[in-house]
Amino acid sequence: SAVISQKPSRDICQRGTSLTIQCQVDSQVTMMFWYRQQPGQSLTLIATANQGSEATYESGFVIDKFPISRPNLTFSTLTVSNMSPEDSSIYLCSVEVIRSNTFDEQYFGPGTRLTVT
Amino acid sequence: GQNIDQPTEMTATEGAIVQINCTYQTSGFNGLFWYQQHAGEAPTFLSYNVLDGLEEKGRFSSFLSRSKGYSYLLLKELQMKDSASYLCAVSYFNKFYFGSGTKLNVKP
């Protein structure tokens, strides 16, 4: 398994500002992912973060709005830039743990609850 | 695009059996996962199917039919603590795509 921590656990921010969320894993992992979960909804993949390369963004998400860093195999950050109330959400990081050649599992961090006023 | 559908909400009685369905149409497929998520907490892994058929794990079972793009999660002997959201997710190319989730309410 993998134990994941995120900082901050929650924050209230003013529109127009930026917030950087940190994700720390207790073991080295190749792939890390960032998700957004808006109130009452499921998880939407924002981007995949691999160490040593640029993050890969899903449709509807761009690097200027959600820059990601992945400096090593145990750490990643997601920045929510120029925030608006629509960015209010829970942001979760997850890591892939490969169990076999047919089975890879994702473990999730506890999430960062962001409110933009 | 990815299209993964689940019922929004279900209610069942403690001790009963409930089946939560998931249908999917995705660009690719490596496997189908079920996660449980209690309010305010991160999702936790329940089960995984890569081949057609039934996977049993204690009180939880999951079924997959790849030809039909269909899966279900079966919860037996329901307990109050099973009240949570259940998320169906399709994985391919190392990415997970989630359905909207089914909120299960277990009543005494």
With beta carbons under 8 A apart, name residues in chain A contacting B33.
Answer: 105-106
Query: Could you tell me the two tokens for B108?
Result: 């005494």
Residue B87 to residue A42, Cβ atoms within 8 A: yes
With beta carbons under 8 A apart, name residues in chain A contacting B91.
Answer: 104, 106
Residue B1, number of CB atoms within 10 A of its CB = 7
Q: Which residue has the tokens 């656990």?
A: A9
pLDDT at B90: 93
Question: What is the band of A50 on the pLDDT scale with cuts at 50, 70, 90?
Answer: confident
Residue B101 to residue A42, Cβ atoms within 8 A: yes
Task: Give how far B70 is from chain A: nearest CA, Å.
Answer: 19
- Kindly list the distances between the CA atom of residue B96 and the CA atoms of A42, A59, B19, B46, in Å, as whole numbers in the listed order: 12, 14, 22, 15
Cis peptide before A8 (omega within 30 of 0): yes
Instruction: Of B38, B105, B30, give the one whose Cα is nearest residue B75.
Output: B105
Percent of chain B with pLDDT over 70: 99
Smallest Cβ–Cβ distance between A102 and the set B50, B94, B98 belongs to: B50
Question: What is the band of B1 on the pLDDT scale with cuts at 50, 70, 90?
Answer: low
Residue A101 has pLDDT above 70, yes or no: no
pLDDT at A42: 83
For an interface test with B, give the residue of A9, A25, A43 to mutate (most B CBs within 10 A): A43
Give the integer Cα–Cα distance in Å for B53 and B70: 11
Smallest Cβ–Cβ distance between B100 and the set A41, A45, A94 belongs to: A41
